[in-house]
Amino acid sequence: MKIDKAILKKIAHLARLEFREEDEQAMVSSMTDILDWVEKLNELDTDNVEPLTNMSSEVNGYREDEVKEHLSHERALKNGPKTDEDYFRVPKVLD
């Protein structure tokens, strides 16, 4: 596929890109090279290749969602330097 200046300007507008007019020809050349390289991928035989759903071969080790002992309200408040009956006390941030 050949990129011309009109297509380049439309792509730049859609991508909200700006560049100087003296850089237009270099951008046209670079984009044409990129598209030519991508077109080479069409030459590959991918009939027996499974599509990827993830780029990593790692498998998530999910655990069962079980109810376990949780931190009680009183024990949590013991961790704070200043507390009142129900809340942590912190310095005032907003006037």
CA dist., res. 56 & res. 16, Å (int)? 32
> Which range of residues forms the domain containing residue 11?
5-43
Is 75 contained in some domain? no
Is 13 contained in some domain? yes
Report residue 55 as tokens. Answer: 């780029």
The pLDDT tens digits of the residues spanning 8-56 come to 999 999 999 998 989 999 999 999 999 999 999 889 898 898 888 878 8
Is 24 contained in some domain? yes
Total number of domains in the chain: 1
Q: What is the pTM of this model?
A: 0.48
**Alpha helices per DSSP H over 1-95:** 5-14, 24-39, 73-78
Report residue 58 as tokens. Answer: 């790692």
Cα separations in angstroms, 44 against 1, 32, 81: 18, 20, 65
Q: What is the pLDDT of residue 58?
A: 82
